[in-house]
Structure 1
Amino acid sequence: MRRIYKILTRFFGVVLILAIIIGIWKREEITRLMAVNSLFSAEKIVTNFSGMNKAFLSVDVPRGDGAIATLPVGAAITLTPDVAQWITDRTVTALVVLKDGAIVHESYYQGTGENDLRISWSVAKSYLSSLFGVLLHEGVIASIDDPVTKYAPSLKGGAYDGASILNVLNMASGVTFDEDYLDKNSDINKMGRVLALGGSMDGFAADLSETFAKPGTDWQYVSIDTHVISMVIRGATGKSIAELLSEKIIQPMGLEASPYYLTDGNGVAFVLGGLNIRTRDYARMGQMFLQNGKYNDTQIIPADWVAASTVPSAPTSEGEYGYGYQWWMPRDGRTGEFLARGVYGQYIYINRPLGVVIATNAADRKFREDGVGDQNVAIFRAIAESL
């Protein structure tokens, strides 16, 4: 009996030592995985959304040494009681309103401040689309009708084999992908764990094998489609997304501070939701699109790409939001009104006829409840129409 006790003691001692060694060796991965599991918790979500690089791998997107582009200040507006209530209900953390290119309102909430670099979530998709448009105009990529496998050959034989660049821009790839954030076993959450554990986003995309429709026929919001666009860009240029976005868009815009991307374990940017920027700089992006791609007296995004991106071209169902090249249009399809939007309440709203841009960040854990998206658009319209 004593001999068995000694054997068991030694065995569990070895197991404990191995656990400690593994814990030290994989400490960063374990820390990131724990961060993923508590990322959206009520007590941490606001802080997390303004400090994502504290828990995840990241890479800077340098703003360069150029001067900061001035955002003039206009006559300040007073928020109505309805807007004030909306700020509370939606756990808004930042609100910046531009009228004719000038700031007419700027406010921060939940203990956050103007210098916070805030997570974009899917607003990042519109940035990547913009970069793609520049590269298409430069001839680096021949056509949006090219198959994605032309530039990303690792996708051959998988779910994306047969999809065109246009299909993935439109979220009409036909690839099966569960986007349910509330299901721990959904594809979107599996992808999050790949990111946290330092895995390969390229490998994750290449391993997808199931489709639900022929490419181009049905619309379904599939976030990994955006990553495939980045694979196309990197395959065509041999450069990283952070390097290209800095060179082609961020530096010419004259942002206040260098943004950063979250990355996977290979340093590949998390393009479908990992861009982190100050709220005023999100507003600058909206102003550039309001001005048909022109900013600082420079045509940064080709005007024809802006026009094509921001009209409904995807095969969405009647009565749903319209979708273009990684940009959204409201259900009623008002001309010149479009938006970038991300989960938990991140928005860049552009109303070209009224000359208004609204950038907002939030930590809204109820963002998926019925009517919340429509309420947000209604508030943006009410602010725009009051100016």
Structure 2
Amino acid sequence: MRIILKWGLRLVLMALLAAVVVGLWKREEITRLWAVNTLFDEGKIVGNFSNMERAFLTVPVSRGDGPVSDLPQGEPMALPEGVTDWIAARDLTSLLVLDEGRIVHESYHKGTGAEDRRISWSMAKSYLSALFGILLDEGAIGSIDVPVTEYAPQLAGSAYDGATIRNVLQMTSGVEFDEDYLDYDSDINRMGRVLALGGTMDGFAAGLTARAAQPGERWKYVSIDTHVIGMVVRGATGRSIPDLMAEKVIAPLGLEAAPYYLSDGESVAFVLGGLNMRTRDYARFGLMFEQMGAYQGRQVVPADWVAASTRASAPTGPGEMGYGYQWWMPVNAPEGVFMARGIYGQYIYIDQTRNVVIVVTAADRQFRDPGAHAENVGMMRRIAEAL
């Protein structure tokens, strides 16, 4: 009996030691997974959205060595009635308004500041669209009507086999993908855990085999489509997205601070939602698109790509928002009004008819409430109309 107890105790101690060793070995992964699982918790979400490097691996994006471009101050605007209540109700962390390139309102909330590099979420999709348009114009990519497998052959045999680049730009790939952020087991949340644990996003995309429709048949917002665009860009150029983005989009804008991307375990940028930068720097990108791709005398993005990508060309349903090439068009908006949009209340709202750019960052845990998005768009429209 004594021998049995002795060996039992030894086995328990060995098991505890093994658990400690594994815990130390995987400490970083465990820490990131815990951070991801509490990312949107009340009391943590605001701080998390300004410090995403705590939860994920990251890759830097050079801002280049040029000077910071000027965003001059304009005459402060009188905000429309109800804006203060809207800021509080929708948990805004920053609000910046440009009128003809001048800052007429800039405010930060919930303890955030001008130097915070806030997570873009899906606003990052519009950045990748801009880069894609440049590469298409340069001839690095021959056409948007070729299969994605021409540049990303690892997708052969997946649900993306047969989809064209246009399909993924317009979110008409037909791939079955559950985008429910509130369902722990949804595809989007499984993808988040792959990212947090240092897995491979390319492998995740290539592992999708189910289709909800044939490519081009119908529109459905599927974030992983944007990762496939990134795979196409990397396959066509042999270069990383952060390097290309820095050279062709970021450096010409003269940002205040270097952005960064969240990344997977292979240092592949999380292009569908992982860009982090300051509010004023989001505004610089918006101003460039408001000016048809030109910034401070330089044509950064081809004007014809700006026009094509911000036009409602995808087959969205009646009464739904329009969708172009990774850009949104509000319901009943005139031509020239479009936006980049991310979950939890992130927006770059552009009104070319009024020369207005509005940047909103937020930590709105109720962003999926009925009417929340319509309220946001309605308030941004009222701000633009007030100028």
Short-chain TM bin: over 0.9
1:297 is matched with 297
Is the 8 Å Cα contact of residues 92 and 345 (structure 1) preserved in structure 2? yes
Give SS of 2:111's match. coil
CA positional deviation for 1:131? 0.3
Q: How does 1:21-170 map to 2 (within 5 A)?
A: 21-170=21-170
Give the stretch that moved more between structures: 48-57 or 236-245.
Answer: 48-57
Give the stretch that moved more between structures: 89-98 or 8-17.
Answer: 8-17
Output the amino acid matched with 1:342: G
2:229 is matched with 229
CA positional deviation for 1:335? 1.6
1:191 is matched with 191
CA positional deviation for 1:113? 0.3
In structure 2, how many angstroms separate the alpha carbons of the residues matched to 1:80 and 1:134? 38
In structure 2, how many angstroms separate the alpha carbons of the residues matched to 1:192 and 1:46? 19
Is the 8 Å Cα contact of residues 73 and 104 (structure 2) preserved in structure 1? yes
In structure 2, how many angstroms separate the alpha carbons of the residues matched to 1:7 and 1:185? 41
Give SS of 1:255's match. coil
- Residue deviations 1:336-380, cap 9 Å, x none? 110000000000000111111000100000000101111101000
Output the amino acid matched with 1:23: G
Q: TM-score, normalised by structure 1?
A: 0.99
Is the 8 Å Cα contact of residues 322 and 333 (structure 1) preserved in structure 2? no
Structure 2 runs not aligned, ≥5 long: none
In structure 2, how many angstroms separate the alpha carbons of the residues matched to 1:65 and 1:367? 38
Is the 8 Å Cα contact of residues 219 and 314 (structure 1) preserved in structure 2? yes
In structure 2, how many angstroms separate the alpha carbons of the residues matched to 1:70 and 1:384? 22
Q: CA RMSD in A?
A: 0.8
In structure 2, how many angstroms separate the alpha carbons of the residues matched to 1:149 and 1:129? 19
CA positional deviation for 1:7? 2.4
1:245 is matched with 245
Output the amino acid matched with 1:347: Y
Output the amino acid matched with 1:276: N
Is the 8 Å Cα contact of residues 179 and 223 (structure 1) preserved in structure 2? yes
CA positional deviation for 1:54? 2.5
- Residue deviations 1:127-148, cap 9 Å, x none? 0010000000000000000100
Residue 354 (structure 1) aligned with residue 354 (structure 2): yes
Give SS of 1:262's match. strand
The percentage of aligned residue pairs carrying the same residue is 63
Give SS of 2:82's match. helix
Is the 8 Å Cα contact of residues 60 and 261 (structure 2) preserved in structure 1? yes
- Residue deviations 1:33-71, cap 9 Å, x none? 001000000010000000111231111110111011101
In structure 2, how many angstroms separate the alpha carbons of the residues matched to 1:135 and 1:243? 13
Give SS of 1:111's match. coil
In structure 2, how many angstroms separate the alpha carbons of the residues matched to 1:353 and 1:9? 77
Output the amino acid matched with 1:15: A
2:218 is matched with 218
Q: How many residues align?
A: 387
2:262 is matched with 262
Is the 8 Å Cα contact of residues 310 and 328 (structure 1) preserved in structure 2? yes
Is the 8 Å Cα contact of residues 344 and 362 (structure 1) preserved in structure 2? yes
CA positional deviation for 1:315? 1.1
Give SS of 2:359's match. strand
Output the amino acid matched with 1:205: A
In structure 2, how many angstroms separate the alpha carbons of the residues matched to 1:206 and 1:302? 31
Is the 8 Å Cα contact of residues 63 and 254 (structure 1) preserved in structure 2? yes
Q: How does 1:282-321 map to 2 (within 5 A)?
A: 282-321=282-321
CA positional deviation for 1:13? 1.1
1:380 is matched with 380
- Residue deviations 1:113-134, cap 9 Å, x none? 0011000000000000100000
In structure 1, how many angstroms separate the alpha carbons of the residues matched to 2:18 and 2:315? 54
Is the 8 Å Cα contact of residues 77 and 105 (structure 1) preserved in structure 2? yes
In structure 2, how many angstroms separate the alpha carbons of the residues matched to 1:58 and 1:72? 32
